[in-house]
Amino acid sequence: MEVAIFSSTRYERQYLDAANHAGQHRLQYFDVALEMDSVGLAAGYRAVCVFVNDCADAQVLEALHKGGTRLLALRCTGFNNVDLEAAARLGMKVVRVVTYSPHSVAEHAVALLLAINRKVHRAYNRTRDANFSLDGLTGFDLCGKTVAVVGTGKIGCVFAKIMLGFGCEVIGYDPYPSKEFEALGLRYVKPGEIGEKADIISLHCPLTPATHHIINAKTLERAKPGAILINTSRGGLVDTEAVIDALKSGQLGGLGIDVYEQEADLFFRDLSSEIITDDVFQRLVSFPNVIVTGHQAYLTREALTTICETTLASITAFERGEPLENEVKAT
């Protein structure tokens, strides 16, 4: 089958080509993101493959359908960028990667936490300038601290296990309790308890209307003063303006994010020679207790292999008329 792949990168192509080693599919790579201005590139392709920041709203889906596309394959877990109701109306199938490597994202969340707490980013910059002063680099022991895991799916559970290894007290919040989380001997709490007790809050939930801005001015006001917030899920979970205010007041002690609300205009490209006009983002990265990575939490060899193999397996199943194990449908 001919497949149009949008937002493709050089490092990703080698894994897609490896997954397509038998040459069953003809993969056409496009560097650009899928949107109305680029949807014409997909004309004639029965399958279109997209990533987290590609636009698949009703208008784009209608244009794809008109061009002959019948399958939209997401090489990611989240599907908040897809209008599933429009896809269903058009008879277009949508598949995703339900799980790839929960360890990759969970471990990156821990890396952000450790770097923020122990000021690794600041120490790195100092020592490169032969400045070995330790002033301002004091952190705290993770052992004995309370960590709140918001979203206890596969990634959240792996993160919880790692935090238990540090000797932390781990609590969870999720409207859909996980037996795996409870099997670890951990308990669920109400949102108010998270604010009272959590020294660290790590977000591992999907972006839905119910979770949009789950971290906002009110929740930050109720947070334990000096708490650290980690987000490796979706940028829309966090009200960035509210977080900036909490950082300025000292209510929030640190922030480590791999995602950002308006990341579609920034991430996955080299803007080092350009002026970034997003004032909110510029204010955010000006804080010494903030670390931003560009949506790289998933970026391990193991995760890339699974993502690409799962995506192409779904495309093969669609071509053969077989059941789509990883299909996403409107609820």
Kindly state whether residues 61 and 178 are assigned to the same domain.
Answer: no
Which residue of the set 75, 295, 301, 322 is catalytic?
295
52, amino acid identity = V
Alpha-carbon gap, residue 148 to 132, rounded angstroms:
34
Kindly state whether residues 236 and 261 are assigned to the same domain.
Answer: yes
pLDDT single digits (tens) 221-261: 999 999 999 999 999 999 999 999 999 999 999 999 999 99
Kindly state whether residues 267 and 313 are assigned to the same domain.
Answer: no
pLDDT single digits (tens) 50-94: 999 999 999 999 999 999 999 999 999 889 999 999 999 999 999
**pLDDT value at residue 157:** 97
**pLDDT value at residue 327:** 97
Give the residue numbers spanning the domain of 256: 102-292
Query: Mean pLDDT over residues 14-38, rounded?
Result: 95
pLDDT band at 285 (very low <50, low <70, confident <90, very high): very high
Which residue of the set 204, 263, 269, 327 is catalytic?
263
Kindly state whether residues 28 and 137 are assigned to the same domain.
Answer: no
Kindly state whether residues 256 and 307 are assigned to the same domain.
Answer: no
In a domain, 212, yes or no: yes
Residue 100: which of 298, 266, 234, 325 has the closest Cα?
298
Cα separation values, 280 from 55, 202, 245, 250, Å: 22, 22, 11, 18
* Number of independent structural domains in the chain: 2
Q: What percent of the chain has pLDDT over 70?
A: 100
Alpha-carbon gap, residue 206 to 78, rounded angstroms:
7
Which residue of the set 108, 204, 234, 261 is catalytic?
234
Other residues' Cβ atoms within 10 Å of the Cβ of residue 264: 17
pLDDT single digits (tens) 318-330: 999 999 999 999 8
3-state secondary structure of 192: helix
In a domain, 18, yes or no: yes
CATH, residue 239: 3.40.50.720
Query: Mean pLDDT over residues 293-316, rounded?
Result: 96
Kindly state whether residues 10 and 83 are assigned to the same domain.
Answer: yes
**pLDDT value at residue 158:** 97
The answer to whether residues 7 and 32 touch, using CB atoms and an 8 Å cutoff, is yes
pLDDT band at 272 (very low <50, low <70, confident <90, very high): very high
Is the pLDDT at 298 greater than 90? The verdict is: yes
Please report the sign of the dihedral spanned by the C-alpha atoms of residue 315, residue 316, residue 322, residue 324: negative
In a domain, 195, yes or no: yes
Is the pLDDT at 30 greater than 90? The verdict is: yes
**pLDDT value at residue 331:** 79
Is the pLDDT at 192 greater than 90? The verdict is: no
pLDDT single digits (tens) 126-171: 999 999 999 999 999 999 999 999 999 999 999 999 999 999 999 9
Is the pLDDT at 100 greater than 90? The verdict is: no
**Chain centre to alpha carbon of residue 246:** 22
What mean pLDDT, rounded, does the chain reach? 96
Kindly state whether residues 194 and 116 are assigned to the same domain.
Answer: yes
**pLDDT value at residue 6:** 98
Is the pLDDT at 99 greater than 90? The verdict is: no
pLDDT band at 191 (very low <50, low <70, confident <90, very high): confident
Is the pLDDT at 115 greater than 90? The verdict is: yes
Kindly state whether residues 90 and 107 are assigned to the same domain.
Answer: no
pLDDT single digits (tens) 59-69: 999 999 999 99
Kindly state whether residues 172 and 226 are assigned to the same domain.
Answer: yes
**pLDDT value at residue 19:** 96
Kindly state whether residues 145 and 77 are assigned to the same domain.
Answer: no
The answer to whether residues 156 and 181 touch, using CB atoms and an 8 Å cutoff, is yes
Cα separation values, 226 from 35, 162, 223, 252, 253, Å: 40, 22, 8, 5, 4
pLDDT single digits (tens) 198-208: 999 999 999 99
Q: Catalytic residue at 263?
A: yes
The helix (H) or strand (E) run that includes residue 28 is strand 26-29
